[in-house]
Amino acid sequence: MKFSFLPAFSALFYLSFPAQAQHLPRVELQASFYRIETEVAATPEQRMTGLMQRRHLGINQGMLFVFPQAEQPCMWMKNTLIPLSVAFIDDEGVIVNIRDMQPQSENNHCAAAPVRYALEMNQGWFSAKGIKPGMKVNGLAGVPSGR
């Protein structure tokens, strides 16, 4: 009897290194005095995957979700292993609202008004830096457009 471990190994390998598998564009943003290194999720597939299966996010690192037009998106944390905060940001770069999200939850966390962007950071990052709704995020002009 012959056993094949290749499919199981391949799946395990992919799940262990999701960040390397995506090769997302990166952009630098600024909120208040703080520089943020972000990966950009601009396609439907990238937005669907987001930060799933990641075990770590650096201190000033995040993921910027770009939507093709202003809408009121909802985010959830299915298969996301780290606690996050999400800032919903309008076309002008103004933060509309911020929500904290728990790992591996299917609870919806929605924008309070139409937005073009959602910025996920480690949970508590925005509050620790004094960043609140009404404040502006700079650097969005160079972001790839959502499709």
Please state the domain extents for the chain.
Answer: 23-142
Side-chain-side CA neighbours of residue 46 (13 Å):
22
Question: pLDDT tens, 15-45?
Answer: 333 444 458 999 999 999 999 999 999 999 9
Question: pLDDT tens, 85-108?
Answer: 999 999 999 999 999 999 999 999
How far apart are alpha carbons 88 and 100 in whole angstroms? 12
Query: What distances in angstroms separate CA 42 from CA 56, 66, 72, 118, 144, one per listed residue?
Result: 21, 5, 16, 11, 7
Would you say 97 and 88 are in contact if contact means Cβ atoms under 8 Å apart? yes
The pair of structure tokens assigned to 31 is 């909120």
23-142 to CATH, choices 2.60.40.1180, 3.40.50.720, 2.60.120.1140, 3.40.30.10: 2.60.120.1140
State pTM to two decimals.
Answer: 0.83
Cβ-proximal residues to 9 (8 Å cutoff; 6+ apart), any chain: none
Can you give the C-alpha Rg of the chain in angstroms?
A: 16
